[in-house]
Chains A and B, each alone.
Chain A
């Protein structure tokens, strides 16, 4: 339970707000490159600001302020000829990186990009997509750093053949085994959770102790301020930002990064367009149609009864808390370790920006941001005594076999 004042401090992101100032010190996903095939400029609504993305005469991307139309909805994509650039509006730095246009809305020089796998992988090995969630960015982020929720919210009552799992999360087998992830999550719902503060944010380890002295190890990451990096399958990870459109809406931007074969982008895009409307990238399953809830499915197939796409489960969970979660009525428990550590980092960052101490923020100041690699993100099953070594070696083995330079040593 925190007061409304403290909740506002960590959730609201308008210009001049504490959390908004922290987010503005980092590159933010602003648009997918695939959106730019439309006529330019395109509207970009980011951190409560109404912006437009276009190219200048040199062909460089330019992000500028635009006039807001009367009764314009929060999520809107007006035609290019309807967009009017503000002559005295802000102009922000822009960078294109593996399918996503990033923007820097803060003061001073933008920081370097870390050397994360999603940025250093070849373009052929990264697929980017996004989706709309109608809720505050923080609750969207916090579900992604809770290792326990997957055993309930994403519980599948039976296991699927991994052959048909391409491009889907939690549908593969654990590396070097034939044990489906769905089986592990379902049968071992109470992980031991360890959270470690790192240069980039948090390393989150969930240990599910199994039979015969074995342990399932799942390593995920929080990348400060509002991204996660999690394993998707044996060969892919997901690096996902939860980017505020305003205080009550956000986009998730995901970079699916393959350590194996080049990503079949056509398959992955087709899978996701079945679930999303263009041009808003709004989910077809939503509050208005009860997220596709089917009681018979809930009885026999899934915990939620909301289909096989785990994004829908998460969307229902975070939108169901209200547009901005009321944390005056919240009761976190000790298993919410990662959320507790994350809020601590965020509150420290809020204090730091209020003191004008930008260098105290993760990946800012004198930090050698370009030397930050990884992060390690995988699922393994190991003898309990050597779970750390097995996880680490599995990551090194995957990196060694990678066609792009994924080395971390």
Chain B
């Protein structure tokens, strides 16, 4: 990753959250409900060991099936994705990584989860939600600059400071989020070395300069960081340098 310039670090309004999402609907709809309920414009979400289904030719607005065919069912072992609200209230899963298996083992040869994916039962999710604002980002859509202090920041290479309507606060501020979740617990299962890619819908040919880095700090110490872009969302356990 190399060093990064603190001048490119932008505190943003965000908070940790946990919730229980409905199953049965297309996942993009389920996550839209989540974002609306939590008043987020986008979120980095995590789902662990959740049953899933993908029923061919089932219209998105069709009634929920009464019975599940084993051929169409499986389990997400873990999934981390960035969900982003779209203007009309639906939601797009911008990017994500996951580990999963299908009952029909032949489907496991496909290295992507389909966009028609549904959770087969409600699921517990947690993550970091981002308040919608005016700062344009590649990964999270439009986010809101933190006006006082924040534990969450984006490192944005080639940032254009003219995007900002307010001054950029310093990053080395005290913690201000309510830590209802232990962040190490949130991250316990991240291990991107063993998983397949998922959801590469956008911007397949990004260069290094387009990567965005999500930083979470506590008591002026960076405790977690995730390299995100619109094709990726995964953690980076070690860095050559972190901001002072």
- Fill in one digit per residue for A330-360: 1 if any B CB lies within 8 Å of its CB, else 0: 1111101100110110011001000000000
- Whether, in the assembled complex, B75 has its beta carbon less than 8 Å from a beta carbon of chain A, the answer is yes
The number of residue pairs between A and B whose CB atoms lie closer than 8 Å in the complex comes to 68
Q: In the complex, are the beta carbons of B20 and A6 less than 8 A apart?
A: no
Mask, B110-128, CB within 8 Å of A = 1, is 0000000000111110000
Q: Chain B 37-74 against A: per-residue CB contact (8 Å), 1 yes, 0 no?
A: 00000000000111101000000000011111010011
User: B148 an interface residue at 8 Å Cβ cutoff?
Assistant: no
Contact of A329 with B67 in the complex, beta carbons under 8 Å: yes
Across the interface, do A6 and B51 meet the contact criterion of CB distance under 8 Å? yes
A348 touches B48 (CB 8 A): yes
Say how far A19's CB is from chain B's closest CB, in angstroms.
13
Residues of B within 8 A of A328 (CB): 67-68, 70
Cβ proximity bits A1-39 to B, threshold 8 Å, 1 near / 0 not: 111111000000000000000000000000000000000
Instruction: Give the shortest distance, in Å, between B199 (CB) and chain A (any CB).
Output: 22
Is there contact, CB below 8 Å, between B70 and A3?
Answer: yes
If A331-B24, A334-B22 touch, whether A340 touches B121 (CB-CB below 8 Å) is yes
> Are B49 and A4 in contact, with the CB atoms below 8 A?
no
Chain B residues positioned under 8 Å from A341 (CB to CB): 124
**Contact A2:B120 (CB < 8 A) given known A334-B22, A344-B48, A348-B49:** yes
Chain A residue numbers with a CB within 8 Å of B75 are 6, 347
CB distance from B120 to the nearest CB of A (A): 5
Given contacts A1-B68, A348-B48, A332 and B124 within 8 Å (CB-CB): no
CB-CB under 8 A from B64, the residues of chain A are: 331
Q: A331 to B24, alpha carbons, bound, how many Å? A: 9
Is A3 in contact with B48, judged by CB distance below 8 angstroms? no
Would you call A333 and B122 a contact (CB within 8 A)?
yes
Within the assembled complex, what's the spacing in Å between the Cα atoms of A328 and B73?
10
Contact call A336/B51, Cβ cutoff below 8 A? no
- Asked if residues A5 and B70 are in contact (CB atoms below 8 Å), the reply is yes
Chain B's nearest CB lies how many Å from the CB of A324?
16
Which residues from A are CB-within-8-Å of B24?
1, 331
Q: In the assembled complex, which residues on chain B have CB atoms less than 8 Å from the CB atom of A337?
A: 20, 124
Complex alpha-carbon distance, A336 and B53, angstroms: 19
Determine if B129 is an interface residue (Cβ-Cβ < 8 Å): no
B15-41 CB contacts (< 8 Å) to partner A: 20-24
B103: interface (CB < 8 Å): yes
Distance (Å) between the CB of B178 and the closest chain A CB? 14
CA distance A6 to B67 in the complex (A): 14
| Set of chain B residues within 8 Å of A2, measured between Cβ atoms | 51, 68, 73, 120-121
Q: What's the Cα separation between A348 and B75 when bound, in Å? A: 12
Question: When the two chains form their complex, are residues B23 and A332 in contact, meaning their CB atoms are under 8 A apart?
Answer: yes
A-contact bits for B60-92, CB 8 A (1 contact / 0 none): 000011111010011101000000000000000
Given A2-B73, A5-B103 in contact, is the A347-B120 Cβ separation under 8 Å? Answer: no
CB contacts (< 8 Å) of B51 on chain A: these are: 1-3, 6
Q: Is the CB of A340 within 8 A of B123?
A: yes
Q: Which partner residue on chain A sits nearest B73 by CB separation?
A: A3
Q: Indicate whether A340 sits within 8 Å of B73 (C-beta atoms), given known contacts A5-B103, A328-B68.
A: no
- Produce 1/0 per residue, A21-64, CB < 8 A to B: 00000000000000000000000000000000000000000000
| CB-nearest residue of chain B to A346 | B49
Q: Give the contacting residue for B122; candidates A4, A336, A347; CB below 8 A.
A: A336
Q: Which residues of A have CB within 8 Å of B23?
A: 1, 332
Shortest C-beta distance, B29 to chain A (Å), equals 14
B48 to chain A, nearest CB (A): 6
Residues of A within 8 A of B67 (CB): 1, 328-329
The smallest beta-carbon distance between B166 and chain A, in angstroms, is 34
Complex: A331 Cα to B120 Cα, angstroms: 9
User: Hey, which chain A residues are within 8 Å of B124, CB to CB?
Assistant: 337, 340-341, 344
Known: A3-B103, A6-B73. A329 touches B120 (CB 8 A): no
Distance (Å) between the CB of B78 and the closest chain A CB? 10
**Bound: A336/B66 CA distance, A:** 18
CA–CA, A329 and B73, complex, Å = 13
B53 and A340 form a contact (CB under 8 A): no
A329 to B49, CA, bound (A): 19
Q: Nearest CB to that of A348 among chain B residues?
A: B49
Q: How far is the CA of A399 from the CA of B122 in the complex (A)?
A: 37
Please, how many angstroms separate the alpha-carbon atoms of A212 and B195 in the complex? Answer: 53
Chain B residues positioned under 8 Å from A4 (CB to CB)? 70
**When the two chains form their complex, are residues B121 and A330 in contact, meaning their CB atoms are under 8 A apart?**
yes
Contact of A3 among B22, B68, B123 (CB under 8 A): B68
Q: Is the pair B70, A340 in contact by a Cβ cutoff of 8 Å?
A: no
Knowing A340-B20, A344-B49, the reply to whether A1 touches B122 (Cβ < 8 A) is no
Chain B residue nearest to A345 (CB atoms) is B49
Which of B20, B49, B74, B121 is within 8 Å of A1, CB to CB?
B121
CA distance A3 to B65 in the complex (A): 13
Bound CA span A333–B51, Å? 14
Q: Which residues of A contact B (CB under 8 A)?
A: 1-6, 328-334, 336-337, 340-341, 343-344, 347-348, 351
Residues of B within 8 A of A (CB): 20-24, 48-51, 53, 64-68, 70, 73-75, 77, 103, 120-124
- Chain A to chain B contacts (Cβ below 8 Å), 24 pairs: A1-B23, A1-B53, A1-B65, A1-B120, A2-B68, A3-B73, A4-B70, A5-B70, A5-B103, A6-B75, A329-B67, A330-B121, A331-B24, A332-B23, A333-B122, A334-B22, A336-B122, A341-B124, A343-B121, A344-B50, A344-B123, A347-B75, A348-B49, A351-B49
Q: 5 shortest A-B CB distances, which residue pairs? A: A347-B49, A1-B68, A3-B73, A3-B70, A2-B51
Q: What 19 additional pairs, Cβ within 8 angstroms, besides A1-B120, A333-B22, A340-B124? A: A1-B23, A1-B53, A1-B73, A2-B73, A2-B121, A3-B68, A3-B74, A3-B103, A6-B73, A328-B68, A333-B122, A334-B22, A337-B20, A337-B124, A343-B121, A344-B49, A347-B75, A348-B49, A351-B77
